[in-house]
Amino acid sequence: MTRYLLDTHALIFWSAKEWVSGEFIALLDRQAKQGNVVVSTISFWEAALLSKKGKIRISNIHEWKSGLLENTNIKIITPSASDMIDSTLLPDYHKDPFDRLLIVQAQRHKALLVTKDTAMQHYSVKTYWI
């Protein structure tokens, strides 16, 4: 069984069904139905920050999150204190603290990190993008 941990942009693109291929959407839809898609709680925090800054358009983050949880079979993972500490110990290829934490969570949960961010390929984490 392969697990897919969605980077925040992958979650946003998949939920909007925009900016990604139909093949990408279909794959994640199938995997979500099987319970193989995981999302970190930090992605909802990052999405809320992006919305507040006007970088993405989600009118109500709470409704968006609730809709995702009600209409998909995604699993939510929460970073542990160890995950947070370990994210600071990664080599400094990537400066974004959200992404560094996702890298550690993907490693701990043995998940493919679904991201188009090529900087994450510098770490010992498997990435996936269509």
Structural contact between residues 124 and 93, judged by C-beta atoms closer than 8 angstroms: no
Cα–Cα dist 39/54, whole Å: 22
Residue range 4-19, pLDDT digits in tens: 999 999 999 999 998 9
Residue range 92-120, pLDDT digits in tens: 998 899 999 999 999 999 999 999 999 98
Residues 6+ apart with CB under 8 A from 73: 32, 33, 34, 35, 37
Reported for 94-98, long-range contacts at CB under 8 A and 24+ positions apart, including other chains, are 94/119, 94/120, 94/122, 94/123, 98/8, 98/42, 98/43, 98/45, 98/46
Whole-model pTM? 0.94
Average pLDDT, the chain: 95
Cβ atoms within 10 A of the Cβ of 23, count?
A: 9
Reported residue count of the chain is 130
Phi/psi at 128 (5° precision)? -145, 135
Residue 1: pLDDT band with limits 50, 70, 90: confident
Residue 73: pLDDT band with limits 50, 70, 90: very high
30, pLDDT greater than 80: yes
Residue 25: pLDDT band with limits 50, 70, 90: very high
AA letter at 76 = I
Q: What pLDDT shows up at residue 130?
A: 77
Residue 121: pLDDT band with limits 50, 70, 90: confident
Q: Which domains does the chain have, with CATH numbers?
A: 3-121 (3.40.50.1010)
Nearest to 14 by CA among 114, 117, 105: 114
